[in-house]
C-alpha cells in the first residue's frame, strides 16, 4: 500500500486543488487503514464533491479514492437467511444501473429512478453508492420501497443494516459502504416512481416519490410501501399511509389519502418553493395515483 505525500494543510482552511492529497487503495482493507490513519473522505465518482465545492462547501484536504477497488463494482446474486438477494456493488455507476441486465430484470424501479438522476455525462461517473451515501440521492426513495439493506464495513467488522435505519445513523460513525442489497420481488409486485423538478434541466428535484405494491383484490393492497425524498429532504417511508392502505378497500378515497399525506409529510421552504407547495405536490401525485390503482380491476 503506497501512501501519497502531501502538503500540510490546516484543517480549518479550504485547500487549493494542488494541495489536496489523494490516496488510491486497491482493496477494502487498504481503504479502511487509510481512513484510520488520515481521516480522509471516501470518494469514487466525485460528482457530489464537485457540486459541493462549486457551491462553496470547503473541500477536504485528503481524499481516499475508491475507484480502483474492483470488488466494489460487482453485481451478483446472494442468498441471505433463505432470501434471494441482488447485491449491487457501491461503485456500480448510475449508468450501469440503467442497463445492467440483472438490475433491469429484477429491479426495474431502481432502473427508472436512475434514469431520472442528473445528466448522462454525470451518470457515467456517479455511483449508486455515492448517491445513497449522500443521504438525499434520488435513488433512495426507490430503494426504501424495495426494502433494501446496505452492507457496510466499520473498522474491521461487516454489518448488514436496513437502509432506513442506516440513513438515520450513518453520520455517527466512519463507515465504508460495500453493497446495496435488494430482495428479489415476487412476480405480482408492481411499482411506480415520479420525480418533480423545476423547469431548469438537471436541477435538484422538488420531491421524488416511489411506491411498491401488490394487490389481493380489485380494491385492496396486500402490501404497499411508499417513500418520499428529493431536494434536501431526508427520505422517509409513509408508514401511517401504508398502514391505512394495507388491507383496506372501497372506503379509502383520494381525499383521505391526500389528508394523510399532508399530516405525515414534513417538508421545507427554500428560495424557490414553499413547504406548503411541496407537500401539496406530493399529496396530489400520490393520492391520484394510489386511488387509480385501488380502483383498477
The reply to whether 203 falls in a domain is yes
How much is the mean pLDDT over the chain? 88
What local confidence, expressed as pLDDT, does residue 289 receive?
97
Supply the Cα-derived Rg of the chain in whole angstroms.
20
Nearest-angstrom CA–CA distance, 13 and 80: 46
6: pLDDT strictly greater than 90: no
CATH number, domain containing residue 257: 3.30.390.50
CATH number, domain containing residue 139: 3.30.465.10
What local confidence, expressed as pLDDT, does residue 171 receive?
83
What local confidence, expressed as pLDDT, does residue 53 receive?
66
Give rounded-to-5 percent helix, strand, coil for the chain.
Answer: 35, 25, 35
The reply to whether 3 falls in a domain is no
Beta carbons of 176 and 155 less than 8 angstroms apart? no
Residues 163 and 196 in one domain: no
11: pLDDT strictly greater than 60: no
263: pLDDT strictly greater than 70: yes
pLDDT average, residue stretch 277-291: 97
What local confidence, expressed as pLDDT, does residue 54 receive?
64
Nearest-angstrom CA–CA distance, 133 and 249: 38
What local confidence, expressed as pLDDT, does residue 1 receive?
45
Provide the domain limits for residue 177.
Answer: 70-183
57: pLDDT strictly greater than 80: no
Per-residue pLDDT band for 295 (boundaries 50, 70, 90) equals: confident
Residues 176 and 198 in one domain: no
Nearest-angstrom CA–CA distance, 153 and 176: 5
**pLDDT tens-digit profile of 75-102?**
999 999 999 999 999 999 999 999 999 9
Nearest-angstrom CA–CA distance, 25 and 12: 26
The reply to whether 233 falls in a domain is yes
DSSP 172: G
Question: What's the structural domain count of the chain?
Answer: 3
- Label residue 102 exposed, middle or buried (CB < 10 Å: 0-12, 13-18, 19+): middle
Per-residue pLDDT band for 14 (boundaries 50, 70, 90) equals: low
What local confidence, expressed as pLDDT, does residue 3 receive?
46
Residues 75 and 61 in one domain: no
Residues 221 and 123 in one domain: no
Indicate if the alpha-carbon torsion angle 196, 202, 203, 208 is positive or negative. Answer: positive
The C-alpha cell of 67 is what?
Answer: 475507484
Nearest-angstrom CA–CA distance, 166 and 129: 13
Cell 395515483, residue located: 289
Which of 140, 165, 183 delimits the end of a domain?
Answer: 183
| Angle subtended at Cα 157 by Cα 155 and Cα 160, rounded to the nearest 5 degrees | 120
For 96, residues 6+ apart whose C-beta sits below 8 A from its C-beta are 75, 103
Bridge pairing between strands 83-89 and 175-183: antiparallel
Bridge pairing between strands 41-43 and 149-154: unpaired
**pLDDT tens-digit profile of 141-177?**
999 999 999 999 987 899 999 999 999 998 878 789 9
The pTM for the full model equals: 0.89
What local confidence, expressed as pLDDT, does residue 186 receive?
81
Nearest-angstrom CA–CA distance, 188 and 253: 24
Amino acid at each position: 500500500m503506497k501512501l501519497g505525500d502531501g502538503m500540510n494543510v490546516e484543517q480549518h482552511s479550504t485547500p487549493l486543488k494542488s494541495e489536496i492529497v489523494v490516496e488510491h487503495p486497491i482493496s477494502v482493507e487498504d481503504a479502511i487503514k487509510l481512513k484510520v490513519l488520515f481521516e480522509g473522505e471516501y470518494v469514487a465518482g466525485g460528482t457530489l464533491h464537485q457540486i459541493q465545492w462549486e457551491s462553496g462547501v470547503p473541500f477536504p484536504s485528503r481524499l481516499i479514492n475508491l475507484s480502483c477497488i474492483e470488488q466494489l463494482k460487482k453485481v451478483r446474486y446472494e442468498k441471505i437467511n433463505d432470501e434471494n438477494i441482488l447485491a449491487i456493488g457501491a461503485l456500480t455507476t448510475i449508468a450501469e444501473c440503467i442497463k445492467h441486465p440483472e438490475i433491469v430484470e429484477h429491479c426495474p424501479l431502481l432502473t427508472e429512478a436512475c434514469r431520472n438522476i442528473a445528466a448522462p455525462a454525470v451518470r457515467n461517473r456517479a455511483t449508486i453508492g455515492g448517491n445513497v451515501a449522500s443521504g438525499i440521492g434520488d435513488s433512495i426513495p426507490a430503494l426504501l420501497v424495495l426494502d433494501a439493506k446496505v452492507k457496510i464495513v466499520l473498522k474491521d467488522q461487516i454489518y448488514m443494516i436496513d437502509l432506513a435505519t442506516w440513513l438515520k445513523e450513518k453520520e455517527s460513525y466512519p463507515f465504508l459502504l460495500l453493497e446495496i442489497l435488494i430482495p428479489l420481488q415476487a412476480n405480482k409486485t408492481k411499482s411506480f416512481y415520479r420525480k418533480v423538478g423545476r423547469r431548469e434541466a438537471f436541477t435538484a428535484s422538488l420531491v421524488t416519490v416511489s411506491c411498491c405494491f401488490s394487490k389481493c383484490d380489485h380494491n385492496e393492497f396486500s402490501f404497499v410501501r411508499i417513500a418520499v425524498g428529493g431536494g434536501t429532504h431526508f427520505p422517509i417511508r409513509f408508514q401511517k399511509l401504508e398502514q391505512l392502505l394495507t388491507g383496506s378497500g372501497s372506503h379509502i378515497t383520494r381525499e383521505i389519502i391526500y389528508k394523510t399525506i399532508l399530516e405525515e409529510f414534513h417538508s421545507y421552504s427554500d428560495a424557490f418553493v414553499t413547504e406548503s407547495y411541496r407537500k401539496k405536490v406530493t399529496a396530489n401525485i400520490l393520492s391520484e395515483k394510489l386511488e387509480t390503482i385501488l380502483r383498477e380491476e
